[in-house]
Amino acid sequence: MKLSQTSVVLTGASGGIGSATARLLIHEGAKVLLVGRSKDKLMKLASELGAGASDRSRLDALVVDITTDAGRAAIRDVAQARNVNVLINNAGVPGFGPSIELSSVDAQAMVNTNLLAPMLLTSCLLPQLMKQPRAQVINVGSTLARIGVPGFAAYGATKAGLRAFSESLRRELAETSVKVQYFAPRAVDTQFNDARATTFNTVTGSRTDSVDKVAAAIIEMIRSERIERGIGWIEQLAARLNALCPGAMDGAFTKHRHALQTLPSSLTQLNRKPS
């Protein structure tokens, strides 16, 4: 779809990937509804972008929690008024560490935010999207959905669930105007990764991309309507090999397992709901 023809709902707009994507969307002529929880961050971004999008029909912001029914209903109501035709499910929470340390609070936050909320928000917005001559849903997942890496068991499970949801829904809606797409970044340089995850990525040689590169890939997905894409040819090849013979890949993760066991737990800073 042409960017100038899009009216986008962008969740996680106050975060690293979200704000870089919002900047590019506005630059390319899209209408954007910024969605996030942190009022201050969202308003700061809206006022920065406001210079390039002087009226509220071009740019607006909504402070909601997407894990609540009320939050999703508020997005649906504004999306109807804005005649939205693109939903980018980008909001997410991280989870890194030994699975023996996984708390119920963090596991539920990951499942609720990374899987349940995008599924329910998509369902809630489908009537609006299906009215459009062309519409797109882009779900932001992760490389970790297709390659299980020690330390990311619960987080990877939520992103694998989002990928399965995207694939089924794409087939379910094949004869409608709505395209469902899945985007899988590898590590990205944002506050999403706490000190422990960043050290782990460095020690294991995981490649990290800039937010600008990732945002450009999201914009390209809108233009191309490609059903699925990731970043990094090595990661894409590894994902294919992993799908073909997962057992044969297990030996490639010794370094990751050792790094996970030796990282001091004092580096962990859980990314909880902001004040």
Q: Answer yes or no whether residue 139 interacts with ligand NAP by CB under 6 A.
A: no
Decide if residue 12 touches ligand NAP (CB under 6 A).
yes
Cβ proximity to ligand NAP, 41 vs 163, nearer residue: 41
| Cβ–Cβ < 8 Å for 90, 66 | no
Residue 260, both tokens = 């996970």
Residue 7 binding ligand NAP, by CB under 6 A = no
Q: What CA–CA distance (Å, rounded) separates 23 from 114?
A: 23
Query: Residue 128's closest CA among 249, 222, 33, 198?
Result: 33
Question: Does 217 interact with ligand NAP (rule: CB under 6 A)?
Answer: no
The residue within the footprint of ligand NAP, chosen from 36, 95, 151, 156 (CB under 6 A), is 36
Output 17 or 132, the one with its CB closest to ligand NAP.
17
Binding of ligand NAP by 204 (CB under 6 A): no
**Does the footprint of ligand NAP cover residue 274 (CB under 6 A)?**
yes
Q: Is residue 41 a contact point for ligand NAP (CB under 6 A)?
A: yes
Choose among 169, 168, 191, 190: nearest CA to 178.
Answer: 169
Does residue 37 touch ligand NAP according to CB under 6 A? yes
Q: How far apart are CA 131 and CA 35, in angstroms?
A: 22
Instruction: For residue 262, give every residue at least 6 positions away whose Cβ sits within 8 Å of its Cβ, in sequence order, or none.
Output: none
What minimum distance in Å lies between the beta carbon of 118 and ligand NAP? Answer: 9
Out of 86, 91, 115, 221, the only residue in the binding site for ligand NAP (CB under 6 A) is: 91
Least Å distance between CB 65 and ligand NAP? 4
Using alpha carbons, select from 91, 183, 88 the residue that is nearest to residue 135.
Answer: 88
* Integer Cα distance of 152 and 44 in angstroms: 32
What is the side-by-side order of every strand in the sheet holding 59-63? 59-63, 31-36, 7-11, 86-89, 135-140, 178-184, 228-230
Report the residue number, 113 or 122, with the smaller CB distance to ligand NAP. 113
- Does 182 qualify as catalytic in the annotation? no
Q: Active-site residue among 96, 155, 183, 200? A: 155
Location of structure tokens 């409608």: 176
Residue nearest ligand NAP, Cβ-based: 15
Positions annotated as catalytic residues are 155
Q: Which residues bind ligand NAP (CB under 6 A)?
A: 11-18, 36-38, 41, 65-67, 90-93, 113, 140, 142, 185, 187-188, 190-193, 274
